[in-house]
């Protein structure tokens, strides 16, 4: 099966690096089915992303299948969907640091430390 350049879905797009990181995590743990994405109210700018690996589909979450190995589960709260719709989730390595990074067209501002954002 040929991997597409990006996995595009109605709410979020995952880059190949993000998909590969999730697959590697699942393989390394020997279990898992994907990631859960939500936002919470916090920080000086208002919202913060939460990305968690999950072993099974969380009840009530919006499910977007990337391929037979990886799914994305999105918090169904309208505030969450509105905040992340149209975003691209990447996984970046900078020196010794590695993390998921959102490229979000809805962001109107972010705090100086980069931990929270506003829409």
CATH number, domain of 43, equals 2.60.300.12
Domain that residue 67 falls in: 12-106
Within a domain: 1: no
CA distance 62 to 77: 10
CA distance 51 to 65: 16
Within a domain: 119: no
Q: What percent of the chain has pLDDT over 70?
A: 78
Mean pLDDT of 43-67: 85
Checking if the pLDDT of 20 tops 60, the result is yes
Task: Enter the pTM of the model.
Answer: 0.80
Within a domain: 116: no
Other Cβ atoms less than 10 A from the Cβ of 65: the count is: 13
Within a domain: 47: yes
In the chain, the number of structural domains is: 1
Within a domain: 118: no
Helices in 15-86 by DSSP H: which ranges? Answer: 16-29, 78-84
Within a domain: 95: yes
């Amino acid at each position: 099966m040929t991997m597409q350049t990006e996995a595009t879905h109605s709410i979020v797009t995952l880059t190949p690096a993000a998909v590969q990181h999730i697959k590697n995590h699942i393989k390394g743990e020997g279990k898992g089915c994907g990631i859960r994405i939500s936002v919470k109210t916090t920080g000086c700018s208002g919202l913060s992303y939460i990305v968690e690996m999950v072993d099974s589909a969380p009840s009530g979450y919006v499910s977007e299948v990337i391929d037979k190995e990886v799914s994305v589960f999105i918090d169904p709260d309208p505030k969450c969907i509105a905040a992340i719709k149209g975003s691209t989730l990447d996984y970046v390595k900078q020196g010794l640091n590695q993390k998921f990074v959102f490229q979000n067209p809805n962001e109107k501002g972010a705090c100086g430390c980069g931990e929270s954002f506003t829409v």
